[in-house]
């Protein structure tokens, strides 16, 4: 297993999203101050793969995965194993009650060549080669298959606590034996011994159970089997006799049934004939139907008379004229009167508006003349101001002029000095200009106001003129429509006459509807009477048809009462004749029942002789069931005899298994088999560690053991044997690392699947090592990384060691969260 990328969010100290990218990294270091979160990165890798962390101690303590203030923690690990890439995700959440559970876990194999940048935007179907797991249980199984290491071996093969193996190097033989048992999982043989002892105990218990069961089968000897066989033969004979008697019983039952059926049919005929009775209303139904039909004819005549009156009034109303047209003409007269009155008012308003408009035009023209005068006065004031400015400038030159000198303005010779005024001319001109500007502004404002007033009057005058023109057009239209029309009084008289005719027509319509309703009521009553009469005939026909098989006499279809009397008299006579023949039919039934009883007594005697209960409704079946039960009892005896034979065989086999389990438990005692296994494991461990130590020490050292103690062979000192306690710190690290690597290889070999050891991380502090030892450690790690068969990682806070490693992941932590930054290649 080789990590490629690790994404964290809310996991312990990493409260914010954090990514560790191991791409193209063969040798790296996790560096940072103590407590910054270096080891948490390894915890996240273990948690992603196995759902727990060694430091938690308990696999159920997943609450440790959540940062204190986080409700959710996400860990996603992308890793390579055996040349394929996988993405593994686990999500832990805290619910409202504070319980922490794994809400999601999944493992997918990625498509070859997938750009990991796509993970930022979500994977599509084509990006996933195969979905391997979707639940925590499925993930645990799939990880074991893909990585090839269970959790306990992963934490000893990939993440190595180097200090523990240094202790293993220096441990005493007894203590080293205990460590090997734990690390190599040799306790499994103790469990096998315990299982063997349990199997032996179970086998002995089952032997006792089998003995008890065989004792319970003591009643299945040859005598019991012979008695069961004799019982089967006896019941076979009874069954044959019953089979011969049953047809006779069936014939007797058939004859008895036929006699009973004939008697029942005779009683049924007597009952049907005696049930014929004359309905009490048979005589009055025809008279009621005739009366109802006469009432319908009278109602129809009344309805036709009412309809004729209504039709006459409708013709008169149509001749009276169109009420809508008359009402429209009357409305036009009223509208014209209103428009004539409104026209006078509008003309008066128009005259006033024209007068006001003329006044406003005159006022506007006067204001414009005043504005022109004020503007001329302002222009004059401006010219005066310019002249005053020139004069004052000339006065300013006066003190410098001398008679006979050249004038600085016109260059003429000054012959006479000009008089100097007492006041400056500019001040007076400026005051006059201000008065002229004020008057001009006031005149312009007056023009603006007069102009606005004139425009308002223009609009009002235009509105009044438009209104007057509209009234004139509407009056002309009404005069055209009323040309030749009657006066309003004549129109009103015609409308009043039409209204009176309309009211009379409505009354006539009400009378028609009343007559029609009376007609419908009479028709309903007639229908009811007719239906009652028809229903009575149907009842008669039903009664007569029910007796058709007896040949009833013909009926008078014109008189219901006579038809019922004829049928009733005939039915009474027929019922009397049948009652006379009933005693003979009763005697036939009694004789047939006595024959059935005699045959049943014969069957009962057969059953009693065989020791069986009296037969039920199916004697043949009862005999067959008894025979089958006897045969089943015989077969059960035979089966139990076979079971007893099998139990004896099982008892013999169980006895052999108990002996084997006891022998295995004896052989696997800890002072025998386990000691031999530990010796073999230590030989294999030292052989593998020696090869690695030779490579790490550039051929200087081999590792060996004797009588439970480790030593090194120093090839640089003529093959001198040295105890491992004489090694320097760097040499001890090399020897411990060699043991660690050899032990991890052996643990991988013990894995249930094919383990892929593609990375190793040493989570160990190096702060106690001196400079020379640190240099040796660094060279050792560099040589290990240079082998190229594994990614090598180191967790340390020692700067001197970290600086020699090409890629460093610096871990920093503040009050909020921990962060990781990649430094180096």
- pLDDT of 700 over the 60 cut: yes
For the whole prediction, is pTM greater than 0.85? no
Token pair, residue 18, equals 């954090």
Of all residues in the chain, the percent with pLDDT exceeding 90 is 9
Provide the edge-to-edge strand list for the sheet that holds 759-763. Answer: 159-160, 759-763, 791-795, 27-31, 807-813, 818-824
The alpha helices in 6-135, defined as continuous H runs, are: 38-50
CB 32 within 8 A of CB 26: no
Higher pLDDT, 745 or 148: 148
Place of tokens 């005696």: 274
pLDDT of 752 = 42
Region 334-338: mean pLDDT is 75
CB 679 within 8 A of CB 707: no
DSSP string, 478-525: HHHHTTTPPPHHHHHHHHHHHHHHHHHHHHHHHHHHHHHHHHHHHHHH
Region 648-669: mean pLDDT is 73
User: pLDDT digits over 678-694, tens only?
Assistant: 777 788 888 888 988 88
What angle separates helix 675-696 from helix 173-184, to the nearest 10 degrees? 90
The phi-psi region of residue 723 (left if phi > 0; otherwise alpha if psi is between -120 and 50; otherwise beta) is beta
User: pLDDT digits over 709-745, tens only?
Assistant: 889 999 888 888 888 888 887 788 788 878 877 776 6
User: pLDDT digits over 434-451, tens only?
Assistant: 887 888 888 888 878 888
Given pLDDT bands bounded at 50, 70 and 90, which one contains residue 751?
very low
- pLDDT of 274 over the 70 cut: yes
- pLDDT of 634 over the 90 cut: no
Region 28-43: mean pLDDT is 88
DSSP string, 646-690: HHHHHHHHHHHHHHHHHHHHHHT-IIIIIHHHHHHHHHHHHHHHH
């Amino acid at each position: 297993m080789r990590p490629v990328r690790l994404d964290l969010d809310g996991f312990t100290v990493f409260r914010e999203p954090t990514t560790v990218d191991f791409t193209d990294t063969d040798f790296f270091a996790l560096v940072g101050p103590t407590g910054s979160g270096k080891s948490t990165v390894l915890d996240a890798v273990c948690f992603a793969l196995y759902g727990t962390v060694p430091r938690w101690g308990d696999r159920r303590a997943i609450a440790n995965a959540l940062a204190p203030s986080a409700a959710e923690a996400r860990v996603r690990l992308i890793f390579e194993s055996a040349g394929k890439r996988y993405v593994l995700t686990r999500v832990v959440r805290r619910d409202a009650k504070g319980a922490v559970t794994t809400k999601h876990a999944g493992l997918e194999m990625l498509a070859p060549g997938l750009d990991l940048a796509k993970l930022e935007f979500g994977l599509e179907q084509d990006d996933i080669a195969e979905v391997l797991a979707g639940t925590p249980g499925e993930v645990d199984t799939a990880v074991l298959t893909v990585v090839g290491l269970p959790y306990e071996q992963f934490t000893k093969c990939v993440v190595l606590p180097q200090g523990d193996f240094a202790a293993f190097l220096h441990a005493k033989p007894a203590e080293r034996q205990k460590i090997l048992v734990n690390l190599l999982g040799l306790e499994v043989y103790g469990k096998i011994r315990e299982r063997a002892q349990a199997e032996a105990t179970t086998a002995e218990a089952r032997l006792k159970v089998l003995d008890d069961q065989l004792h319970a089968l003591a009643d299945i000897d040859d005598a019991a089997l012979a008695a069961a066989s004799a019982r089967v033969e006896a019941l076979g004979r009874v069954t044959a006799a019953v089979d011969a008697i049953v047809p006779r019983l069936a014939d007797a039952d058939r004859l008895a049934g036929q006699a009973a059926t004939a008697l029942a049919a005779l009683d049924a005929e007597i009952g049907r004939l005696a049930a014929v009775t004359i309905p009490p209303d048979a005589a009055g139904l025809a008279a009621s139907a005739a009366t109802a039909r006469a009432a319908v004819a009278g109602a129809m005549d009344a309805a036709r008379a009412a309809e004729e009156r209504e039709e006459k009034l409708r013709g008169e109303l149509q001749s009276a004229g169109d009420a809508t047209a008359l009402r429209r003409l009357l409305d036009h007269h009223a509208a014209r009167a209103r428009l004539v009155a409104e026209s006078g008012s509008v003309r008066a308003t128009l005259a006033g508006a024209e007068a006001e408009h003329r006044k406003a035009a005159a006022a506007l023209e006067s204001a414009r003349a005043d504005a022109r005068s004020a503007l001329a006065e302002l222009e004059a004031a401006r010219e005066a101001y310019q002249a005053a400015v020139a004069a004052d400038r000339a006065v300013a030159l006066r003190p410098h002029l001398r008679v006979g000198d050249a004038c600085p303005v016109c260059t003429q010779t000054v012959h006479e000095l000009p008089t100097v005024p007492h006041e400056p001319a500019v001040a007076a001109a400026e005051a006059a200009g201000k008065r002229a500007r004020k008057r001009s502004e006031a005149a312009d404002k007056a023009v603006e106001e007069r102009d606005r007033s004139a425009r308002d009057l223009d609009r009002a005058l235009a509105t009044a003129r438009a209104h007057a023109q509209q009234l004139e057009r509407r009056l002309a239209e009404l005069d055209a429509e009323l040309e030749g029309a009657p006066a309003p009084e004549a129109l009103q008289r015609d409308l009043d006459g039409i209204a009176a005719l309309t009211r009379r027509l409505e009354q006539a319509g009400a009378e028609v509807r009343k007559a029609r309703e009376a007609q419908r009521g009479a028709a309903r009553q007639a229908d009811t009477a007719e239906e009652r009469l028809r229903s009575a005939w149907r009842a008669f026909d039903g009664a007569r048809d029910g007796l058709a098989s007896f040949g009833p006499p013909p009926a008078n279809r014109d008189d219901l009462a006579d038809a019922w009397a004829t049928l009733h008299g005939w039915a009474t006579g027929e019922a009397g004749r049948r009652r006379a023949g009933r005693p003979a039919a009763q005697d036939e039934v009694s004789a047939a029942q006595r024959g059935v009883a005699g045959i049943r007594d014969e069957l009962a005697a057969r059953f009693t002789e065989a020791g069986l209960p009296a037969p039920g409704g199916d004697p043949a079946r009862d005999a067959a069931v008894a025979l089958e039960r006897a045969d089943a009892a015989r077969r059960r005896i035979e089966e139990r005899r076979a079971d007893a034979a099998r139990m004896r065989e099982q008892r013999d086999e169980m006895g052999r298994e108990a002996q084997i389990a006891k022998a295995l438990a004896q052989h696997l005692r800890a002072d025998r088999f386990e000691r031999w296994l530990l010796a073999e494991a230590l030989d294999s461990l030292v052989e593998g560690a020696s090869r690695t130590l030779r490579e790490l020490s550039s051929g200087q050292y081999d590792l060996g053991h004797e009588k439970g103690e480790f030593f090194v062979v120093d090839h640089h000192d003529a093959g001198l044997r040295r105890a491992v306690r004489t090694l320097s710190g760097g040499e001890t690290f090399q020897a411990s690392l060699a043991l660690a690597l050899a032990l991890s290889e052996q643990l991988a070999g013990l894995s249930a699947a094919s383990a892929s050891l593609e990375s190793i991380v040493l989570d160990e502090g190096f702060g106690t090592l001196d400079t020379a030892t640190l240099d040796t450690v660094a060279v050792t790690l560099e040589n290990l990384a240079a082998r190229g068969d594994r990614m090598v990682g180191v967790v340390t806070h020692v700067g001197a060691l970290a600086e020699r490693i090409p890629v460093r992941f610096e871990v920093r932590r503040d009050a909020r969260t921990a962060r990781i930054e990649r430094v180096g290649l």
